[in-house]
């Protein structure tokens, strides 16, 4: 659940209290972005009891003054940035076995980056898909003649090379090159929310670190 709330001490505690009224349990909280207007954007993982509708989460959270639920999406586990440290350690152990490293990277990224799927493209004279997480959609098999992503950014309707299967359910997409390699990392969130600027910046930093380990 992505929530925008006042950056005031105690607000998150009030949200937790309202979650308790519907027997929902907050499992983890990740601060995504601080806005200049005095609000903060959090990704909150909530365990919802069987039989409860997701709409109940929205109603409960928005009982707190100034709180707005931006989106809700299914998610397994918790949002824990320590998972990225584990991912980097695993890559370091397998850095000389590039094929193994790329697959381990793609398997671990969705949970550590709070997305539903990830795909790795290899660029060069031709750009093609080389690895994907288990939940990643299929593509149309096209081989691109040029590198489609030169910097970390969100992908939009102007990116006509993006397969239509990647955009179902109004998926939000973001991509970054892995610095020093021919790899491009694509992340997808079916149903959103859109990637915020802070998330794009974070993705770019992750791309620099992962590229250094894989190059």
Q: What is the pLDDT of residue 102?
A: 79
* CA distance linking residue 114 with residue 177, whole number of Å: 19
Hey, how many other C-beta atoms are within 10 angstroms of the C-beta on 124? 9
Q: String of b and e for 49-62 (b: at least 16 CB within 10 Å)?
A: eeeeeeebbbebbb
Encode pLDDT of 123-157 as tens digits: 877 888 888 998 999 888 888 888 889 999 999 99
Q: What is the pLDDT of residue 52?
A: 87
* CA distance linking residue 73 with residue 149, whole number of Å: 27
SS (H, E, C) the chain: CEEEEECCCCHHHHHHHHHHCCCCEEEEEEEEEECCCCEEEEEEEEECCCCCCHHHHHHHHCCCCCCEEEECCCCCCCCCCHHHHHHHHHHHHCCCCHHHHHHHHHHHHHHHCCCCEEEEEECCCCEEEEEECCCCCCCCCCCECCCCCCCCEEECCCCCCCCHHHHHHHCEEEEEECCCCCEEEEEEECCCCCCCHHHHHHHHHHHHHHHHHHC
Q: What is the pLDDT of residue 97?
A: 62
Instruction: Answer whether CATH 3.20.20.10 is correct for domain 2-71.
Output: no
186 touches 173 (CB < 8 A): yes
Q: What is the pLDDT of residue 82?
A: 64
Which pair of tokens denotes residue 163? 């397969």
Instruction: Answer whether CATH 3.30.450.40 is correct for domain 82-214.
Output: yes
Which pair of tokens denotes residue 32? 């995504």
Q: What is the pLDDT of residue 214?
A: 81
Residue intervals of the chain classified under CATH 3.30.70.260 are 2-71
Average pLDDT of adjacent 10-residue blocks, the chain of 215 residues: 95 95 92 92 91 91 96 76 72 69 81 88 86 89 84 94 91 95 94 92 91 83
User: What does the radius of gyration of the chain's CA atoms come to, in whole angstroms?
Assistant: 18
Residue intervals of the chain classified under CATH 3.30.450.40 are 82-214
């Amino acid at each position: 659940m992505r929530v925008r709330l006042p950056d005031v001490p105690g607000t998150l505690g009030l949200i937790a209290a309202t979650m308790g009224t519907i027997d929902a349990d907050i499992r983890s909280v990740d601060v995504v972005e601080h806005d200049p207007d005095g609000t903060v954007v959090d990704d909150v993982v909530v365990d919802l009891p069987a039989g409860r509708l997701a709409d109940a989460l929205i109603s409960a959270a928005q009982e707190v003054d100034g709180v707005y639920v931006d989106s809700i999406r299914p998610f397994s586990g918790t949002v824990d940035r320590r998972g990225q440290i584990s991912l980097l350690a695993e890559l370091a152990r397998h850095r000389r076995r590039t094929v193994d490293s790329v697959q381990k990277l793609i398997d671990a990224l969705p949970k550590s980056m709070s997305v539903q799927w990830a795909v790795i493209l290899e660029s060069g004279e031709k750009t093609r898909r080389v690895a994907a997480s288990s939940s990643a959609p299929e593509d149309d098999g096209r081989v691109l003649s040029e590198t489609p992503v030169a910097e970390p950014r969100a992908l939009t309707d102007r990116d006509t090379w993006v397969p239509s299967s990647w955009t179902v359910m109004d998926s939000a997409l973001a991509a970054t090159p892995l610095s020093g390699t021919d790899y491009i990392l694509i992340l997808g969130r079916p149903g959103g929310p859109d990637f915020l600027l802070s998330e794009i910046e974070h993705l770019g930093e992750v791309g620099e670190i992962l590229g250094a380990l894989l190059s």
